[in-house]
Amino acid sequence: MKKNQISLRPPTRRQSRRSFLRLMGTASAGVAVAGVGLATILKPEDVGGAYSPYFDRMNQTLKSAGIGRPCIFVDLDRVDANLIQVKQKLSSPLEYRIAAKSLPSDEFIRYVLNKAETNKVMAFHAPYLPILLKQADDIDILLGKPLLIESAREFYSELPAEEHQKASDRIQWLVDSRIRLIRYLELAREFKIKLKINLEIDVGLRRGGLQTNQELGRLLTVIEKNPDHLQFTGFMGYEAHVPHAPPIISSVEKAFDDAMADYCSFCDAGKKEFPGLFSGDLTFNSGGSKTYRMFPDDLPINDIAAGSCVVKPSTFDILDNHQPALFIAAPVIKKIDSVQLPFLDFAAGAIEWWDPNLATSIYLYGGGWAAETVSPPGVSMNGLTADPPNQNLLPNQSLFNSSSRTPVQIGDFVFFHPHQSDAMSQFEDIYVIRNGEITDRWQPFPRRY
């Protein structure tokens, strides 16, 4: 073959194998380089750092108070700011009713009653009724759910006979069906009292209550025929579904308008057929913390119940003009300057390289709360050992990890923002904060079940 002449013969098997290996080697190197590049892009960023000024002060406050266990605290400065927002929106003809479930403390309810200048409370648990009745002589209690007749009977059985009617004058019992109304009528006859009856109407939430004007007529007929034992006091139409309207089906605004149209339909039907019952001072209740700002003043509704807006739990981001005011604090009881997990000692270096926020292991006193970790930054529950929310109710120890840039030490506190404000019920004391200092201790309601 002459020089530079191209051979048309196929390569030998050995030549083909060498060429393939060179090709695979080049491709593997390319994949490795690409993999490193991709890993660099996907590699978690180190988000560790020091406490914010607010939580740095709270950390020092709790440590100075000698607190060495998990606790929950409420910041009254922030509560006051939130209540200003509520009062600015809920002015006449709208009135504010405190949802006791969201502020489950005798002292807390009393504080908000005075600060918000209201006498209205919504109760959800029968054992709370005697406590709430003591809040004020003119307290107006509306049940937020229909209670079994056994609960109502137990309530009256534990009161002195001379207190039966006095209590009845301050409680609106919620009724959602004719059967329940008949049972409350029988109870009223048994105790020789007159009960205030507020009717639950379904305005789209679909969890019970009257759905048609025909159902409404049947209940109002029973009330009208028994004026010695039953008094109609209004409606409760809860529209908690509105903020969660799926965009593919309805906008939030349309869902609200539809709910209000249903509410007005019940009012119009009742006034037309039973004008005698629709006179005087009636309670037309609706609303919640996520929707209280949506109500105009030209609806039949005159009573808005809300509680969580006072402290803005973590699941209430919709309240953009409110401040979080309730936090859980848990002290660090152990700190290990590496990530250590059973059976994974060999991978510790790789784990720490991959995610710098796992570089340190810290064990907290307690854990398992339904809450978001908020301070210091870079602290998170270990995903392999995490307790499901609210499972670890008796304080154990929970593994969290943090960045090496997070200067948390044994005795320091990690702070959590509860998903719901009734997290207060999980603690024996609620620490009250004013100007960054502990000024009082409140207790949650007893008899939680």
Same domain, 146 and 254: yes
pLDDT at 160: 96
Q: Find the CATH number of the domain harbouring 347.
A: 2.40.37
Q: Find the CATH number of the domain harbouring 182.
A: 3.20.20.10
Encode pLDDT of 6-52 as tens digits. 343 444 444 444 443 343 444 443 433 334 444 556 788 877 789 99
Q: Name the CA dihedral angle for 249, 254, 259, 262, rounded to a multiple of 10 degrees.
A: -100
pLDDT at 345: 65
Same domain, 256 and 300: yes
Same domain, 294 and 328: no
Specify whether the CB–CB gap between 227 and 172 falls below 8 A.
Answer: no
Same domain, 225 and 300: yes
User: And the tokens for 346?
Assistant: 């060999």
Render 177-235 in DSSP notation, one character per residue.
SHHHHHHHHHHHHHHT--EEEEEEB-SS--SSSB-SHHHHHHHHHHHHH-TTTEEEEEE
The runs of H, that is alpha helices, within 282-378 are 348-354
Same domain, 292 and 370: no
Same domain, 285 and 329: no
In a domain, 447, yes or no: no
Cα within 13 Å of Cα(342), Cβ side: 3
In a domain, 11, yes or no: no
Encode pLDDT of 187-207 as tens digits. 999 999 999 999 999 999 999
Same domain, 280 and 168: yes
- pTM of the model as a whole: 0.87
Same domain, 280 and 377: no
Taking phi over 0 as left and psi of -120 to 50 as alpha, with beta for the rest, 185 belongs to alpha
Same domain, 352 and 222: no
- Number of separate domains in the chain: 2
Which of the listed residues 243, 271, 306 is the one where a domain comes to its end?
Answer: 306
Q: How confident is the model at residue 386 (pLDDT cuts 50, 70, 90)?
A: low
In a domain, 354, yes or no: yes
Alpha-carbon separation of residue 78 from 88, 189, 259, 365 (angstroms): 16, 47, 32, 27
Same domain, 386 and 280: no
Same domain, 156 and 289: yes
Question: Residue 235 phi/psi, 5° resolution?
Answer: -125, 155
In a domain, 257, yes or no: yes
pLDDT over threshold 60, residue 318: yes
Taking phi over 0 as left and psi of -120 to 50 as alpha, with beta for the rest, 436 belongs to left
Encode pLDDT of 326-341 as tens digits. 999 999 999 988 777 6
Specify the residue for token string 């510790």.
348
Same domain, 335 and 293: no
pLDDT at 46: 76
In a domain, 101, yes or no: no
Which of the listed residues 306, 339, 370 is the one where a domain comes to its end?
Answer: 306
In a domain, 115, yes or no: no
In a domain, 402, yes or no: yes
Mean pLDDT of 145-158: 98
Give the integer Cα–Cα distance in Å for 363 and 35.
34
Mean pLDDT of the residues in the chain: 88
Q: Give the domain extent around 217.
A: 139-306
pLDDT at 404: 84
In a domain, 127, yes or no: no
Give the integer Cα–Cα distance in Å for 92 and 89.
9
Mean pLDDT of 201-221: 97
pLDDT at 349: 65
